[in-house]
Amino acid sequence: MGTDPIFPLWSYGKWGLSPFLLGAATVLAFAPAGVFPLALVTFAVLVQLWMDAAPRRAFFSGYWFGLGLFGAGVSWIYVSMNRFGGMPMPLAALATLLFCAFLALFPAVAGWLQARIPASRALRASLLIPAAWVLFEWLRGWLFTGFPWLAVGYAAVGWPLQGYAPLVGVYGLSFATLSIAGMAWLVFRRVSRLAFLVGFFVVLAGGQALRHVEWSQPAGEPVAAALLQGNIEQDLKFDPRRYPRILETYARLAEESRARLIVLPETAIPRFYDGIEPEYLARLEALAKRNAGDLLLGVPYRGAPGEYYNSVLTLGTSARQAYHKNHLVPFGEFVPPGFRWALDVVRIPLTDFSRGAPEQPPLAVAGQRIAVNICYEDAFGDEIARRLPQATLLVNVSNVAWFGDSLAPAQHLQIARLRAIETGRMHLAATNTGITAAIDRDGRVLARLPQFAEGRLEIAAQGYTGATPYSLYRDWPVVVSSLLLLAVFAFVASRAMSR
């Protein structure tokens, strides 16, 4: 447990400054910068901080690392609360800080747990730390409805490790990232240097080889699709004086397209479906039928009294169908019990949606079976995978205008890319202000629109069939394996101490 003469600053930075800066630097490994090798460096240094550290020291260094990671990586939450939610600046800053402080507890407890379990340096670096991190990363994506943003595995999109995604999903990529970071540290510290150097490159080479495996097969001919980006300013979207212009913008963009599938963003029409002028809906349906296809309309939908949904409804040649959002955003789309007072300090329209059913069939439109998800829902890979293998195409409709010109849209696109890879499906993203994009099943962005510009993205969308291993088993193999690793390490250590 003594000081390490090689890394005195990194090990004992005053007030946790060193791990805080490490965590903040890790954000550059994610989109939009996308410097994945940086994550290997920062996590290798985190291994150094946790190696031989007492549980209390590991907890606090993990906490400051997490505070830096989330403080820099999800600072866009402040924008939504202050600029668009109308929350006073000091209160919005405090709320953002408290949220990041809560998220930082997960890497902190991961550090504490791994430090409580005796293990050799080699096993700690390459297996024990990755298992503890992944377990609490998964818990962060599940507790209190979950916030899986900035899971480490997303940084691997576009790099060799992404080849493992159809097998083990984002948390498997997180495990692999931390494991090879640990191997890199072991090589640097001259612990079985050759063995771990070989292991490092074998893991990378295996991922690169898997990128060439086709886990799904084309289903029929590509369908012409058009993704509409209205670029409606968030602070004007719910202004009644702007409503006619919004209607005309989307009608014009749609009418100029001959695509068989036309997709509008989340709540593209800022009025309940039953309050939209019937002649306008007839206009949209007529143009969809003119193209011998269908239109997906993002709109709030009113059900029974006191019940309304964030929905996507279909218009066109196919039978009328609807998808109602199931995984809602706390405070943004529903108010958790005991927090009704929050509505007095933040002004967000439509803040208490009802949940759609957890199991909703894909929409059968334009010759495809489309698994629709709305905004934040595509951050939950396990839930997207439940819609397969029935779905042939993924479509996400979003309105990330809530976060302005921040890191959020690029991070969201990176998440969508990994969903395409995990499922072996093409993924279409239609957003209000960007980033509207078409993503192939291998995660490549085939085409995209610039942010904060009105436009229409025309793309040939290919449907696919078949099931990746991840779509069959989802996150459970990685979660259970991490638990088993921790249990085995703890059991072996307890047996050794009892002798």
pLDDT of residue 14: 44
Could you report the per-residue pLDDT of 99-123, keeping only the tens digit for each?
999 999 999 999 999 999 999 999 9
Query: Is 3 a residue whose pLDDT tops 90?
Result: no
Query: Is 175 a residue whose pLDDT tops 50?
Result: yes
Closest CA to 434 of 313, 266, 256: 266
Coil, strand or helix at 133: helix
pLDDT of residue 124: 97
For the segment 74-97, the average pLDDT, to the nearest whole number, is: 84
Query: Is 347 a residue whose pLDDT tops 60?
Result: no
Buried b or exposed e, range 239-268, using 16+ CB within 10 angstroms? eeeeeeebbebbeebbeebebbbbbbbbbb
For the segment 267-289, the average pLDDT, to the nearest whole number, is: 96
Query: Is 349 a residue whose pLDDT tops 80?
Result: no
pLDDT class of 305 with cuts at 50, 70, 90: confident
pTM of the model: 0.93
Instruction: Please say if 375 is a catalytic residue.
Output: yes
For the segment 312-319, the average pLDDT, to the nearest whole number, is: 98
For the segment 165-175, the average pLDDT, to the nearest whole number, is: 98
pLDDT of residue 377: 96
For the segment 195-202, the average pLDDT, to the nearest whole number, is: 96
Query: Is 188 a residue whose pLDDT tops 50?
Result: yes
* 217-467 belongs to CATH 3.30.1360.40: no
Choose, from 285, 325, 377, 422, the residue flagged as catalytic: 325
pLDDT class of 474 with cuts at 50, 70, 90: very high
CA 377 to chain centre: 8
Residue 182 tokens read as 């640990």
Pairwise CA distance, residues 101 & 486, whole Å = 26
Domain coordinates in residue numbering, the chain: 8-214+475-498, 217-467
Pairwise CA distance, residues 401 & 85, whole Å = 12
Closest CA to 461 of 429, 433, 435, 434: 429
Coil, strand or helix at 64: helix
Closest CA to 369 of 393, 353, 348, 336: 393
For the segment 459-468, the average pLDDT, to the nearest whole number, is: 97
pLDDT of residue 84: 65
For the segment 268-295, the average pLDDT, to the nearest whole number, is: 96
pLDDT of residue 2: 42
pLDDT of residue 350: 53
Amino acid at 294: D
Choose, from 266, 285, 333, 377, the residue flagged as catalytic: 266
pLDDT class of 83 with cuts at 50, 70, 90: confident
pLDDT of residue 372: 98
pLDDT of residue 4: 46
For the segment 409-421, the average pLDDT, to the nearest whole number, is: 97
pLDDT of residue 339: 52
pLDDT class of 346 with cuts at 50, 70, 90: low
Pairing outcome for strands 261-263 and 223-229:
parallel
DSSP 335-369: PPTT-GGGGGT---SS--PPPPPS--PPEEETTEE
Residue reference for tokens 């943003």: 149
Low-confidence winner among 75-84, 132-141, 209-218 (lowest mean pLDDT):
75-84
pLDDT class of 86 with cuts at 50, 70, 90: confident
Determine contact, residues 285/254, Cβ cutoff 8 Å: no
pLDDT class of 261 with cuts at 50, 70, 90: very high
Closest CA to 402 of 438, 376, 436: 376
Choose, from 237, 285, 333, 375, the residue flagged as catalytic: 375
Query: Is 6 a residue whose pLDDT tops 50?
Result: no
Query: Is 33 a residue whose pLDDT tops 60?
Result: yes
Mean pLDDT over all residues of the chain?
A: 91
pLDDT of residue 338: 52
CA 256 to chain centre: 32
- The CA-based angle 121-68-169, given to 5 degrees, is 65
Determine contact, residues 39/173, Cβ cutoff 8 Å: no
For the segment 385-395, the average pLDDT, to the nearest whole number, is: 95
Instruction: Please say if 383 is a catalytic residue.
Output: no
Give burial (CB, 10 Å; 0-12/13-18/19+) of 453: exposed
